[in-house]
Amino acid sequence: MDKPNLKTLDTLDDVERIEENVFAIIESKIQYNEYRINNAANSFINLDDSTLTAQKSPAEMKRIVFNNEHIIDLIRKYTGAINLLLVLRSKLSRENAYSVFSILKDDQYMSFSKFDLVALIEGRPHQVSA
């Protein structure tokens, strides 16, 4: 994986700072996805009993079911992102900080399975998931 176009790092402190910054980016993305999960869960929980028990037309019931399924899909998506970010965080080191940073850009990590993400970070053969 290509290194970003940054100035040449002359000291160990610079390398450690890069690793710390990448760690902070991962933590920030985890927190943001947790926030998104909480918002989705709250919109799901905020359905009042009258909404669920009142007589509804078939069209209204389809809309409620669709909205609930959509919320559940979002929660799955955000949870999957957190799982991949946890893999990146657990594998982050001085040696691979640039590679991890590159994977984080534009959420590229989302196109990998856990297995392929670990393989990529460790320099083993992998396949990009669809």
pLDDT at 14 exceeding the cut of 60: yes
pLDDT at 33 (0 to 100): 96
pLDDT at 96 (0 to 100): 92
d(CA 72, CA 120): 30
pLDDT at 41 (0 to 100): 84
- 85-88, Cβ contacts within 8 angstroms, sequence gap of 24 or more: 85/26, 85/29, 85/30, 85/33, 85/109, 86/30, 87/114, 87/117, 87/118, 88/26, 88/117, 88/121
Interval 28-81: pLDDT, tens: 999 999 999 998 888 766 665 555 566 667 787 677 777 888 889 999 999 999
pLDDT at 5 exceeding the cut of 50: no
pLDDT at 7 exceeding the cut of 60: no
pLDDT at 74 (0 to 100): 92
Q: Computed over its alpha carbons, how large is the radius of gyration of the chain?
A: 20
Domain ranges (residues) in the chain: 12-122
Interval 109-130: pLDDT, tens: 999 999 999 999 988 876 655 4
DSSP 30-91: HHHHHHHHHHHHHHHHT--HHHHHS---HHHHHHHHHHHHHHHHHHHHHHHHHHHHHHHHHH
d(CA 30, CA 71): 19
Cβ–Cβ under 8 Å, residues 126 and 116: yes
Q: What is the pTM of this model?
A: 0.75
pLDDT at 104 exceeding the cut of 90: yes
